[in-house]
Structure formats: C-alpha cells, structure tokens
Amino acid sequence: NELFAQLEVNSKSEDTFWNFYQSASKYIDWIIKLPWNTQSQDILDLDHTRQKLDENHYGLDEVKQRIQEYVSILALQKSRHPQEPFRAPILLFVGLVGTGKTTMAKSIADVLGRQLIRIPFGGLGDPLYLRGQSRLHPEAEPGAIIRGLAQAKTNNPVILLDEIDRVADDALNTIMGVLVELLDPEQNDRFSDHYLDYPFNLSQAFFVATCNNTARIATAVMDRLEVIQMPSYNDEEKMMIGKKYLLPKALKESAITSDELIINDDMWPNIVRPLGFDAGVRTLKRNIEGLCRKTAALILSGTPKIVIDDNNVKKFMPQW
C-alpha cells in the first residue's frame, strides 16, 4: 500500500515517476529473490560426516568429534521432534593463520549439504556493509547477509563470518552490535536489514565464525559462541598433509599426473620448512603449487618426468 501511495504521488512528474519506478522495481526484485521459506535438505549421516571431514582435513579429531556431535543432535531432533525449531550451535574457530579455520567451515557446509555464504570481516569499517542502506539512497542495496541469502537460494545456509577480530578500529563497537543481533537466537529470527525494512528469519542458518585471537571480540558476542581451538601443525603433520591432501590437489589443478612429478621422501622437510616455523600450511601449499608450476613448464619443454631430490631442490625452491 505504501508503494502504491508513493507511486500515485510521484506519477505527476515523469522524471520523478521514472526514478521511483526503478527504485520500486529493484526493491520488488530483491523481495522475490529471497528464500523466505526455502530450505535445503540436510544430510544427517554420521559415516558421511566423518568421511567428508577426513577427506578434507588431517587430524583435528577433537574438532571433527564436535561436528559429529552436532550432526547427531540434529538427526535426533528431526526424527523425534520434527515440528520443533532447532537452534544450531554457533561455532568460533580460533587459531593461527593457515590452521584450517575457513576450510573447516566449508567442510561443515559440505557435510550437511548446505550452501555456504562467506562474509569477510578483515578491514571491515562500515556496519552498513552487513545491514544494507535505506532505500532513500539512490544506490542502496541490501547488506551482505541478505545478498548472500539471495545467492544461496535457501534460508538455512552455513554463514561463515570470517576473521571477526580484524574489523577496523573505528567501527569495532558498531559491528560487534550487529554481530550480537545476528548471533542471538532471541533476535535473529527477525533480523532487520535497512534496505528491506522487514524482518528476515535467520534462525535456521548455521553460523560459523573464525578469528586469530579473541582479545578484540566483545564479551556480548563471545557469550553467544562455542569456542573451538584450532591447533598448530608440527612438521610431521605438515608432511602428511602435503603428501595426502595438498600435493594431489595441486597436481589435479595443474593437469599433472603423479608419475610426472615425484618428490623424494627426504625432500619433504625442505618443502615444509624452507624459511623457518609456520603454524599453518599456507606456506607449504604455496611451495607445492610452485613446484607444480615449474613442473608444468618443464613438461611442455619436453621433460617427461621430474624427480625432486638433493641435486635439483634449489632449482625448484630458490628460497631454500
């Protein structure tokens, strides 16, 4: 009714009418796009859960156990009390760079068969990025939460709030206030985006947050989170991750076979730690990808097979 009333008022001026028509049309498009009542079907199989987690992550047994426990509770709740709403726990993965926080969140979405929405908080300085702008602004649009839901096309995705400890200093308090509303089960069933100006139910979403440390996160936010520590990897664990996960993935992405690039076992310590200790596996991942790039160039130049050993490791890894 409000839209029609404004349409009647603005129809007296052609320019004003056209501007209002575009604004109203855009608003209606967003309303239609949103998955108000659409949910994806959860995969609630413990064997599937463990298999997927083991496929994507080496070790981290305590973290995997927590996720299995959540899937167990969700399965029981849906089988015994299907009509009652289930409030998913809100997980906070805490750990150093490269310890698998973001990839674990992606694995949760994969395990449950849900869509993943990733919202990066690194350097975020404006809460309107999350909550949207009022339609009074010509270029207004919904915030990142609503935009993500429209893209996911379901109202129960896994929503990854990535690096919530790295927001800009001058916006820390206001962004923490938005997080409280997002994560509070008493409020997030009626989350209000400034652009929509109408509540959206986020209670069926599975929220996962990540951070390097909790010092800058407001107490009110921490009270709503279940903290899971992501441990650092030692060199032996990194070698297993490199051999079992990172190298096969890099070979596949580079269209190289396992017969064309062979890394001798005694070379792995050099690949794992060329520049000193690193808590995560990002450096290891970059090193392996670099080996694959050099191998691809040699294959195209006519070299049929590359074996990384003492004789050529410096050629493939100049930083060592």
Q: What is the pLDDT of residues 179-233, one digit of tens each?
A: 999 999 888 999 999 999 999 999 999 999 999 999 999 999 999 999 999 988 8
What DSSP character marks residue 41? P
Report the CATH number of the 235-316 domain.
Answer: 1.10.8.60
Top pLDDT among 10 and 219 is at 219
Which residues, in sequence order, are CB contacts of 140 under 8 Å at separation 6+? 132, 133, 134, 195
**Residues forming CATH 3.40.50.300 domain(s) in the chain:** 46-229
- Quickly state the pLDDT bin for 77 (edges 50, 70, 90): confident
Q: Report how far apart, in Å, the C-alpha atoms of 181 and of each of 65, 121, 258, 291 are.
A: 28, 16, 49, 46
pTM for this predicted structure: 0.85
The torsion angle over the Cα atoms of residues 294, 296, 301 and 305, rounded to 10 degrees, is 90
Q: Report how far apart, in Å, the C-alpha atoms of 43 and of each of 48, 74, 109, 205, 249 are.
A: 8, 10, 10, 15, 25
Residues 189 and 146: beta-carbon distance below 8 Å: no
Q: Match domain 46-229 to its CATH number in 3.40.50.2300, 3.40.50.800, 3.30.70.330, 3.40.50.300.
A: 3.40.50.300
Cα(83)–Cα(86) distance, integer angstroms: 9
**Residues forming CATH 1.10.8.60 domain(s) in the chain:** 235-316
Q: What is the pLDDT of residue 319?
A: 59
Cα(71)–Cα(65) distance, integer angstroms: 10
Mean pLDDT of 68-80: 89
